[in-house]
Each structure stands twice: as C-alpha cells, then as structure tokens.
Structure 1
Amino acid sequence: MPSLTLPECERYIQPPATKEDLEFADLAIIDLSKAHTPEGRAELYPQLRDALRTYGFVYAINHGYSQAQRDRIFDIADVPFNVVPPEEMKTYTANIEKVGYYAGFKGRQFWKVDTENNILDQIEHYGINKDVTRRPHPQALRPFIPEIDAFVRHNHFNIVHPILRLIALSLELPEETLVEKHNFDGTGESCARLMKYYRRSEEEEEKSKNVWLKGHTDVGSVTVLWSQPVGGLQIQAPGGRWKWVRHIENALVINTGDMMGFFTGGYYKPTIHRVVQPPEDQRNYDRLGVFYFSMPDDNVRLLPYVESPVLHRVGIQRRCPDEDAPLCMTWRKGRTTTYGRSDLKKGTEHNVEEEVIEGIVVKHYN
C-alpha cells in the first residue's frame, strides 16, 4: 500500500491580518458548494453575474478544501523560494520572452514597474502547468508534485469549471459551453503559480509611488487567488478609485481576464487590479501568493458568443472584427512576452499607458 505520510515541509507561518483602517472593496461572497445542484446554480449565477459586472472580483467560500489543506499548500508554495538553491533556480528559469508562458521560475527584476525611474519588480514566481509532468521540477519540489497535481485538478474541476457553468447560465447558454473550451487534457497553459513579493527599499517605494505591480488585466479567462493575509491587492472600483481587497480566511478571490472579455463581447470585462506596498503594520513581511490561472485550449478562437440571448439584448462590444479574432495561444504569447518588458506609450486617458497586441490596444494603469 502507498504511504499515507506526507513528505516533510517547513511550516509557513502566516502573518497577522492588517488592523489598518483601509478603504476595502465591498465584494460579494458566493457559496461554491451550492454549484453542485441545478437549484444551487440557479441561485448562484445572478449573484456571480452582478458581482463580476460591478467590481470584477468575487469571493468564493466552501470550495472543497479544508483550512488544513489550504495551509499545507502555502507550506509547499514557499519551497521554491526558501529551499531551491539559486544555481538550481537558474536551471529551471522560464524562457518567457521566447515561449510565451510562465512555466518555471521568473526571477526578480524582470518586469519594469516604473520605466521613467528605472524601477524593476521584486517578485519571484514559479509556474506549474496543469499537466504537472509536462516539465521537470527542482529537486526540492519533486516530493510534493502529487499534492500539487491534486491541487491543480481541484482548482480546474471543482472551482473553475463550476464558475464557467455559472457564467454560461448567466449568458443563457448551455451550461457546458465554456467548460468545453477548458479541457484539462487539451493543449493550453492553465497553470498554478506560486508567487513571492519581496520587500523593497524606501528609495524604490518613493520613486514608484508604492506601486509593486501596475494596474493590469489578466491574460486568461478566470483567475483564482487563494486569499492570504498580507495586503497589497487593489482593484479599480467603478469611478476609477483604487480599493483594497480584504483577506478572508480560506476564501478564494476570483476575477475574469481578457479571454472572458472576448468571449462575452465585453459583458464581463477583464478586471483591472494592481499590487501596492502592504499596509504599514505589515511592511516587515514578504507576501506569499498562490494562484490558478485558467486559460482555454490553445486552438480556441477568441470570438464572442453571438448565440447568447443576453448579448443580443445588451449588445456586443468587439475589440476587433471577428475575422481578426486571435487564437488563445496567440493572445497568451503576445501578452506574456511583452508584459513588463515593452516600452509603453502614454494613452489618451489620465495615468494610462498603452501597447498594441495583435492589433488590439492593451492598457496599463498607473
């Protein structure tokens, strides 16, 4: 019989939540356990629809992982950064600009945060494709691959697929419409990402106005963030104000990305969010994050669902003519290879910079 003993892993000691009086976004909370029945889905999809169309973010609870399972994933998430030697990190560094995906390590000072003041990021992350066996992993991480595999599958089948069904229902489409474009065994770069934000110098904070990752939208369809206590994540609320995202223990923070915007003709707009310096009472901590970035199969074309009765009623906002709609793979590569690397141009809106990907304007928010 296989051993029931999990490989040993140093415990990640979670920092205390902030006590600062911050302007938090009033985000809705959905009970994902209700997504298992038709009646529950009928109750949930209007809640999800209204939340995503208001703020673009929603909390999900009762997602199927216990507090202990969640804590174990954060223990594992710290391994690539605390245990893997620097020389081995180099061996497993992702060639992001060549291949257009984050599989392996992205080191610090890779992205431009503030071009004018020459400020680079202080973020390390390690990306793992949904097929955890597709690429080799550092020695220290290999004992935990079965647990990471289970975690990836849980995100894909028990979190993302239910969310996709709810979105389809909100568009008055068959429940499996979006699920069929997000095959676990299909070619694509849905991935788990373990991410660590390191503290910066006072000089860097001053020059970048405390922005660690400028306002942006995610590339894929649905992003799952496992809530953690160190603040920094902000969303652009209606009216343009930046509001903080509050930590809820063992909750998920879910948002939509570019590809969902394409599919829904702007009905679900990609969520604009950024990361800033943590609140004052948390500035002695680094910020550890765990994500699942969901993307459709590479060969899916990013066309709006013109058959949706909802989109017929509200109208479709196209970012390009249908005949020019990119494949998922093309959009992913275009955005990933240039993100944080290209020299952006000032946009027509205040504090907005722009670049053009596949003939489509992509905005970055300062």
Structure 2
Amino acid sequence: MPVPVAVAASIPQYPRVPVTREDLEYAGLPIIDLSMADTYEGRVELAKDVTKAMTTIGFFYIINHGLTQAQNDRMFDIANVAFDHVSEEEKQIYTTSFEKTGQYIGYKPRQQWHIKGGVSDQIEQYNMDHDIMKDEHPKPLRPFLSEMDAFSRHCHFHVVHSILRLLAIGLELPDEEALVNVHQFSEDNESAARFMKYYPRTDDEEFKTDGVWLKGHTDIGSISVLWSQPISALQILGQDGKWRWIRHIDNALVINAGDVMEFLSGGYYKATIHRVVQPPADQRGYERLGVFYFCKADDNIKLVPFAESPVLQRVGIKRLCDDEVAPTMLEWRKSRTAGYGVTDLKLNAKTGHEEETVEGVLVTHYN
C-alpha cells in the first residue's frame, strides 16, 4: 500500500542535516528485509532473526518496507507543516489535555514534562488517530490528509501487521494471525501516528539534565515504528547496563517492542528501554524532527499472555501482574498516558531510578 506522492499540494522541503562524523558507540541492530515477509517460507526465516532481536537487544531495523526515499522525505516535509506552518493560535485549538483524557490526540506543547533539576522538556508533538480522517486537523495540514492517511494505513497493515506475524511465529502460535487479530485498524483501537519535534536547549538546561532530553522509558503500546532520521539522539539501554546510540540508515525503520508486547508474550519479548539525549557536537543547534507510528492492542483486550504458546510452555511465563488483575488495553493506555511526565515519581535508592505504580504494575523511569 504505497503512499502517493501528491503533485497538487506543494510544500517546502524540510532541510536534511548531514549525519554525524563523531565516533559514537552504536548498538549493533539486526537489519530485517521486510520484502521476505511476502511468503510463508520467508516469514519463517525472518521470524528467527526478529525473535532473537526482540528477546535480546529489543530493537531492529527494517528495510524494503514498501516506501521509497522520496515518499519518506515527503512525509517529513508534511510533518514539519504541523509545527512551522500552523500558528500558535490554531495550535491552541487542537491542543488537548492528555492528563484528563488519557489519550494523545492533537498537540502536546513544549515544557509539559519534567526532566530533571527543574528543567522541563522542549518537545512538541502533533498526535493523530490511526484513522487520520476521524478527526479534524489544522488548516495547513488539510491538503495532505490523503497522504497522511495512506501513510498511517501503510504503517499499520504492511509494517506492523507483518511484524506481528513474525512475532506470532516466534512464539510458535498455531495461528500466525493471532497477534494481528488483537491489533485491528478499527474504532476500538487507539494506535496513533505522531509528528514530533525536539527543539535545542540552553547550555544551562543541558547541564542540569546531564544532556537528557527524554528520560529512559518503555513505550506504552505493542510495536513502535520510528522512521530513521539523521540527527543522532536516540539511545538504548543494553543488557550490560550501557547506553548505546542508534545509527541512522537512510529510508530504514527502527522498531521496538513496548509494554503491551511484554504483557502478551509473557515476558518473552521485552519492552525496550530507550531515551533521547543531546545530539553529538556536530549536530547541535538543529531542530530534530521525527515521524512515528505507535501500534496498540484493541481497547477491549485483556493484557494477559498467550499461554497456549509452546515457547512459553517451555521457557515459562514472566507476568507483569496476575492474570486476574491484568488491565485491559484501554485501562493501561489511559493510566500510563495520563500520568506520564506529570506524576510525582519515587526514587529507588538502590537502583537510582524513579518509579511509579500503574494499574498494579511497577513502571520504572531510567535516569
């Protein structure tokens, strides 16, 4: 389901920043060729690599995902419209209170989340329902809604559903559609597309936060899709306790599992800990634009493991909570969203990390 490149709606090209030349310690992520997922035999082979990635590193790249570099660039151009071409007055109209609704829709202004040392974030977001046409959007974005909608559907059906089939095969579930079936593109699902921009901070803010722009965390949903962009800032926490950088690959996707996948897989696929930090010296001073798709399970799904998995029966199930009190997707996303960045966290003196309890589950924020 390729994204059409519109010719009628012209748009300024978002400037591309050269990749860093600094000698960074990068995480060695596997590269998955999604074109192999077109056949069952190809999926079985890919599932081996994806399973290894999701049970160890927790991140992997995807290439040959069905969109060209030009289509990728076009979506970043459109994403920038949400920030640079919408007035502050119109942004206010489309700004919602996620603390009250438990749902990211519309704008999240800068300086809503506390980072450290009295410093708040410099992150602006524009969040959209996976069904782009469901809600109204700012006027400057309206000429591009058909492209945005096609992009969102491509992410959900072609990218995420393909990954979910590979993960189901990795669990040896009898039906490779088992995970797909609980992640539908429907009104009962709150998967979301997101445009996001990080703005540069002052030297004083960088000092007070140790250069951390977004604290180490796990994602709320099942599968997160990040469209790789050249400004280095994303880091993942390795099993050895070291933070490593994610390298940019042109027209690649960066994939990771979130909390919901850990619930559903009985701990087999781990929610991956990642953070965003100040870019290396040769990329500082630039705004960092991001394009994302966050897939969640259907709202009515109770977040309990697929206990029938032969793999889980062999290795054992590591539950985040007892099945009897496990939250639904709706309960989990509302509680996690409402409290993120605004809840008073408790410092664990032993680990040095901050913690909160959400729906009976301990959630850690990694400093």
Place the TM-score, normalised by the shorter chain, in its bin.
over 0.9
Aligned length: 362
Q: Which amino acid aligns with 1:81?
A: F
Deviation sequence 1:258-289 (CA, Å, 0-9, x none) = 00000011101100000000000000211000
- Secondary structure at the aligned position of 1:87 is classed as helix
Q: Describe the superposition over 1:147-186 as per-residue Cα deviations: whole angstroms up to 9, x where unpaired.
A: 0000000000110000000000000011100000011024
Query: Alpha-carbon deviation of 1:349?
Result: 4.1
C-alpha offsets along residues 60-106 of structure 1, whole Å, 9 cap, x if unaligned? 00000001000000000100110000011011002201111111000
TM superposition shift of 1:245: 0.2
TM-score of the aligned structures, taking structure 1 as reference length: 0.98
Task: Identify the residue that residue 265 of structure 2 maps to in structure 1.
Answer: 264
* Equivalence for 2:141: 141
Asked if 1:28 is matched to 2:33, the reply is no
Q: What residue in structure 2 maps to residue 112 of structure 1?
A: 114
Q: Which piece of structure 1 moves more, 341-350 or 203-212?
A: 341-350
1:209 has 2:220 as partner: no
Match of 1:279 in 2: 280
Alignment of 1:56 with 2:71, yes or no, is no
Once residues 170 and 320 of structure 2 are traced to their aligned partners in structure 1, the CA distance between those partners, rounded to angstroms, is 21
User: 1:152-301 counterparts in 2 under 5 A?
Assistant: 152-173=152-173, 174-301=175-302
Deviation at 1:132, TM superposition (A): 1.1
Equivalent pair of 2:6/2:147 in contact (CA under 8 Å): no
Q: 1:38 aligns with which of 40, 52, 55?
A: 40
Q: Which moved more, 1:211-220 or 1:130-139?
A: 130-139
Amino acid across the alignment from 2:94: Y
Report the AA paired with residue 354 of structure 2: E
Per-residue deviation at 1:241?
Answer: 0.2
Give the match for residue 309 of structure 1. Answer: 310
In 2, distance between residues paired with 1:143 and 1:329?
32
Partners of 1:168 and 1:153 in 2: how far apart?
A: 21
Is the partner of 1:33 in helix, strand or coil? helix
Amino acid corresponding to residue 33 of structure 1 in structure 2? S
Q: Secondary structure at the match of 1:133?
A: helix
For 2:122, give the aligned amino acid.
Q
TM superposition shift of 1:44:
0.1
Check conservation: 2:355, 2:365, Cα contact below 8 A: yes
The reply to whether residue 121 of structure 1 matches residue 121 of structure 2 is yes
Shift of 1:4: 6.2
User: Which 5+ residue runs of structure 1 have no aligned equivalent?
Assistant: none
Cα drift, residue 348 of structure 1:
5.2
Q: Give the whole-Å Cα distance in 1 for the aligned partners of 2:355 and 2:7.
A: 51
Give the secondary-structure state (helix, strand or coil) at the position aligned to 2:51: helix
| Distance across 2 between alignment mates of 1:306 and 1:361 | 22
Aligned-pair distance for 1:135? 1.6
How far apart, in 2, do the equivalents of 1:295 and 1:231 lie? 26
Stretches of 4+ moved more than 4 A in 1?
none
Alpha-carbon shift at residue 53 of structure 1 (Å): 1.3
C-alpha distance in 2 between matches for 1:8 and 1:94: 29
In 1: Cα distance, 2:336 partner to 2:81 partner: 28
Identity across aligned pairs (percent)?
56
Please give the alpha-carbon distance, in whole angstroms, between the structure 1 residues aligned to 2:148 and 2:220: 23
Q: Distance in 1 between matches of 2:187 and 2:90?
A: 30
How far 1:133 sits from its partner (Å)? 2.0
Q: Which residue does the alignment assign to 1:321?
A: 322
Residues 30-77 of structure 1: CA deviation (Å, up to 9, x unaligned): 100000101110110000011111110000000000010000000001
For 2:119, give the aligned amino acid. I
Letter in 1 for 2:193: A
- Scaled by the length of structure 2, what TM-score is found? 0.97
Counterpart amino acid of 2:59? F
Give CA-to-partner distance per residue, 1:116-170, whole Å, 9 cap, x none.
x211000001011011122211000111100000000000011000000000000
Match of 2:10 among 8, 11, 22: 8
- Distance across 1 between alignment mates of 2:77 and 2:176: 36
State the alpha-carbon separation in 2 of the partners of residues 59 and 147 from structure 1. 24
- Match of 1:78, SS? helix
CA distance in 1, matches of 2:350, 2:17: 38
Q: CA RMSD in A?
A: 1.0
* Rounded Cα–Cα distance in structure 2 between residues aligned with 1:132 and 1:4: 17
- Counterpart CA distance in 2 for 1:349 and 1:151 is 44
Which amino acid is 1:131 matched to? D
Match of 1:17 in 2: 19
Q: Secondary structure at 1:255's aligned position in 2?
A: strand
CA distances 1:163-216 after superposition (whole Å, capped 9, x unpaired): 000000000011100000011024121011000000000000000000000000
